Structure 1
Amino acid sequence: MRVPVKLLGFGFWLLSLNFAQCKEITCDDPRDQLVSRPYYWRTMKLGEKQSYTCVNGYRGTEAEATCTRDGWTPKPLCTEILCDVPKIKNAEIVGRQRPNYRINSKEEYRCLSGFKPEKPVQITCDSQGQWKDIQQCIEITCELKSTTIGVKKINPDGKIIFRARESVEITCSEKHWIFFTKESRKTFTCKADGKWDNEPVCAEITCDDPRDQLVSRPYYWRTMKFGEKQSYTCVNGYRGTEAEATCTRDGWTPKPLCTEILCDVPKIKNAEIVGRQRPNYRINSKEEYRCLSGFKPEKPVQITCDSQGQWKDIQQCIEIMCDLPKITNAEIMRSQESNYKISSKVEYKCRSGFEPEKPVQITCDSQGQWRGIKQCTEIMCDLPKILNAEILGSQKSNFKINSTTKYKCRSGIDAEKPIQITCDSQGQWTGIQQCTEKCGPPPEISNADTKEMTKEEYNTEEKVEYKCFDKYTMNLSPPFSNYLTCVKGEWKGDIYCFKPCIVTVEEMDKRGIRLRWKANEKMIIPHNDRIEFACQGTKKYKAQNLPRPTCKDGVMLLPECEE
């Protein structure tokens, strides 16, 4: 057997124990697809070196390759050219960040808030493993230009350059306000685009001529500064609130400058205004009031606002009262009085065995009559009405409390034995058991079928769901639905399937129309769907024809075209 043996310290191999012969160590061309033109390499001996290049996108790990006992080194001969993670001051990568990037890879970064540019910037990894098209992030600032005119205080004091989202508070002097705001103090913030959110300037307070139609000849007024005064008069029917108007931060005062001569809301004891009550009334205005229920006169009274702002023709309201109520088979609860004021309430209770059982409250109305009286009637039960059953024995129109009677369900119905029921103290029958019937198979519905296999019989409250035939549409608008329900032996519910519309090629040719978006063919259009037509050839629509008719339960008004 031949066993290769390595001899240390020599560049040879012992081929076998049988033949003491050594072969020199050599390296053939590298089997590396990343090495450029490896087939030009010659066979080299141990320690010899070979310069080499790599394919596009890769670079040599070292300048030369060396033939070793382990083949060509370094390993690998070629490494891919990559860009490191981009490091841009005051910026962050948009989306997921990778550990490195291949040539021509693109990445986006966004400057941090307060820096520009504000939009994302796209950069590219070039063939040298460097990022190109980088834009540095520059800090955004705003400048405070006006710091003295009309300014009382600036916080922070002495600072005129502010970063994005930084704020400054400006307080104007007594005779100034913030430009366009009429505020004496305001906080301004430097926005992300390097502009102030509002103009940080104090302007002098002024008042223009008043925009008040009640002031006489306001166009004679001149623009005045804070604190200046102006005498004025008002139009007929109004008077000045004060002798002079003053220019203030809130405009001209007093507010309003002119007030109308008015009557206050009429205050009449035991009365209420008829209709909508106003807060005040002009001269010669009329108002009606009505005495409250239980007071007279009962008819409305009309009064008038005079030139002095006083109401004339007022009539006082006199109280109406009710007598002690007298109700058969009842007794008044609590103390009794000889008469009662309007809106007074009294409670009475019917004697035992009469209804209503609970106390009844009545009210003395504005006519001096008791309102809400319920007569006391003896409590009884009506003849019981039980579906699918027959009463046994006497059948009276009504039964007194504690009376009993029996009934029996019809043959083939549950609970076939006689059942006894009792008239209770509330006039209701107790002990009733219903006689319920079952339903047979569900009925056939036009243009529809059941979703599941049907049974021979169904219990009360069981439901069966239907579905419409192909191209038919289920009507789900109340009272219609897609269910029938078994109710005491009968199927209840309404099901209806809207029919589709059928348009034939012959019908289209007859009307001179064609399908708008496809070749003519027989069309089946579901309910509420539309289809668009066009005129054939040079034909045109007749007046008031719609090119997109809608199918309505099998009926579609087709358009018609003519030469």
Structure 2
Amino acid sequence: MRVPVKLLGFVVWLLCLNFGQCRDCLRSDIIYENIVPVSDASYADGKTAKVFCQIGFTGIYILKCENGKWSERVGRTCKKKKCSHPGDAANADFKLLDGTEFVFGTTVVYTCKKGYEMTSRSNKRTCTSKGWDNSVPECEAVKCPAILTNRDVIASGNTKEGNYGEVIHFECASSEKKIDGSRDIRCTETGDWSAPVPNCIAVTCELTSNVDVKRVVPEGKTIFRAGERVTITCTEKTWLKSKETSRRFTCQDDGQWDYNPVCEVITCEPPSRDQHVSTYFWRTWKLDESKNYECDSGYYKKAEVATCTRDGLTPKPLCAGMCARPDIPNAKIEGVPRQNYSTASTLRYKCNPGFEPEETVEITCNPQAQWTGLQQCTAKREDCHDLSVKNGFIYSQSLNKKEILYSCNKGYKPFTGEWWSSVTCVKGSWSDVPLCIPEEECGALPSVQNGKLKLKDQETAEVDCDPGFISSTPSIKCISGTWETPTCNEGVKCGIPPYVGNSGITSKPKAFYIHGSSVTYTCRNPFVMIGKSTVFCSNGKWEETPTCEGDICPPPPYIENGSHFSRNPDDKMPTEVYYECQAYYVLSERKQYYRCENGRWETPPKCLKPCQVTQDILEAHNMRPDQQTGYIKHGDYVDYYCQHRLIVRTGHYKKATCSDGKLEIESCE
């Protein structure tokens, strides 16, 4: 088969040669993209050419020249070579600059996440014919500089070299000092701390305002340390936010007052909607000022003007509701009826003849503008309905049917009365319901003179005697269908209550006291009551009386370089005081109050002396100060370091500590 084909080709070529009809194919006619140009400029008819792709592309074309035109025998388009995934970088993200695939010529750019910085030389990778160039970039956490503090400040956290996001917490070494600055700082993405390293300063509270202040105790002092107290009294027509005119304030450990020590002008707020004030001509106004106002429809003014008082607006309420004249059929209102009635006013009316109630009715307009005690007038009913007696029978009835007598069948008895009973018709209603009960049950409770009975259960009733009377038994029982007989006999009276020293009784004296009555004792100040203050008379005898114990307290003890202040500034004989020291002196103990009990005061504190640090003292000990000289309080210290090349025993810096006026100094050697 191949020989005839070759022969046919040869014949065609021979014909083209003889007749000049076969043409060459040109290199310039190969117009595929991303190919390498073929080596020859032209190809004879019947010749083939292999066309290869450029570097970075894959594919091939095999072309044949046929009468001056290229025909494609084999063809794979030249496409960009693909690269694998470029690789993820820890703490970084990447993105393609162009396109959506990892192919030849594309570039990915890596960006470190917040708080991280690039440590690699290049942040890019490009897909080449041999794969990705460069290596996957690396990002390391941003670092902040080391934290340096003085001795007063304690730092918690990675203070040597902070990484991004790490937090350093600061506290003061002394409880008498507070952080001046941020308690927590954070390493930011820029490599800087979010705030400067703080210092520690003494915990103090300051009285920043003396406006409208009448008195300050202790006087003249404006700076207070933690735990110290001050009492502020406001001027007339001013008060504190707590609506008190005088209060004691305490400086807390955070340098803030427990309450805001500022006196403000006493003002009243405008009335709220539920006060039914329709018109007023103010927003706020001061103490004792009065303004005009008007009330909503259906309400009336309790006064011509509204006045601002310490208790708010007066009168209370500003506007009171009004009751409309009631519509009471079959009744006549006494006096001249009005259209409206103010709250708390009364109205009297009486039902017409033939209607009830027969007596005059009085009704009252309550604060909610509603009538209370209102009764309708209803037609009188003279006759009562017919009765029947279950387990019994009626055996007698009056001619006008106003009274009937009834008895019970065998085995039953009336609930009230003996073995027979009666009921009466009064104004259309029977006085009672005729009732027959089994004989073994108890009926109505018996009456008891000078007392009353209260049913506890079906078989027991409690005896409650009138004041001054006593029962021999607290209750009675139902026995075989009959109640026990109750009695309330007059109790034995008590005489004058027993005398109790240093006390009095809160009520006026009487010649005698009936059984069950009581008196209440009260002790004179500052004596303390031991026992129950109220005692009762029990059948001629008083219960055990209390006692008033304690001694009168002397004036509070004096302390050197300090003063005492009463818990209640107006108390002339104080029983509770607190102490304050002069400037630079410190209390030996912190206690809220010192009390007087049984005539004796608790041992007061001492005011520990300050120390004076002078240049002469430091030079005498061969030292140079690291802080300013001056006065320091008990327990405080100053840093110093040795000079003249002398060395301290245990380190370069040392402390000179104040102990009740004496400066304890370690010498240089």
TM category, shorter:
0.3 to 0.5
TM-score (norm 2): 0.29
Higher relative contact order (CA 8 A, sep 6+): 1
State the structure with more CA Rg: 2
TM-score (norm 1): 0.34
